[in-house]
Amino acid sequence: MSRLKVLAFSVSLDGFGAGTNQSLHNPLGEGGPGLHRWLVPTRTMQRMFGAGEGTTGEDDEFAQASFAAVGAWIPGRNMFGPVRGPWPDESWKGWWGDSPPYHVPVFVLTHHARPPLEMTGGTTFHFVTGGIHEALARARQAAGGKDVRVGGGVATVRQYLQAGLVDEMHLALSPVLLGRGEALLTGIDLVAAGFRCTRHVATAQAMHG
């Protein structure tokens, strides 16, 4: 069966996975971009968005591994876009333009139905209104034996952790403080849930574990 994974998820030193006041022009919230200083310059991300060669090394190895053997994604609605409430129309098609970086089926958790959205490059967004279990069942079927990746944000990761459905996690602890925002692990006992640290790697921009 497909494994459910949280991969390359960045967290601040004070435990936040996103900043406050997220918006169209500031999708990661105040201070949020600082969480991803390890990720954005990597060759994996730079090539993905057509911006150049990018950096190699251990940060890039973790970035590359986070896309390997992934057959479907599950993000929350905020990861798809800034629109709240009922969809006013179907004009918003995600943060990434016509060719999103997923290249596999993506099952977006939402309370508001919307027809599937087929993009170039193999990405199709499916909008799931039945909750995390329905999204996981559909994602596993679509993944065809490959892994399913929880694409964030914080609330979505927390729901899957609290339900005991996450099989593996890679967190990148970034050397920044946000002060406030969305806390990832508050109230969640990872030890009781069966997690243990199997590998940790320190780079100039993050502690991976």
**Confidence (pTM):** 0.95
Q: Domains for the chain: give ranges and CATH numbers.
A: 4-18+28-86+95-208 (3.40.430.10)
Torsion sign across C-alpha atoms 36, 77, 180, 25? positive
**pLDDT tens digit string along 29-72?**
888 899 999 999 999 999 887 677 899 999 999 999 999 999 99
User: Residue 142 is inside which H or E element, if any?
Assistant: helix 132-143
Q: Give the three-state DSSP class for 73.
A: strand
What distance in Å separates the CA atoms of residue 193 and residue 46, rounded to the nearest whole number? Answer: 35
**pLDDT tens digit string along 69-98?**
999 999 999 999 888 899 999 898 988 889
Q: 192 exposed, middle or buried (CB, 10 Å; 0-12, 13-18, 19+)?
A: exposed
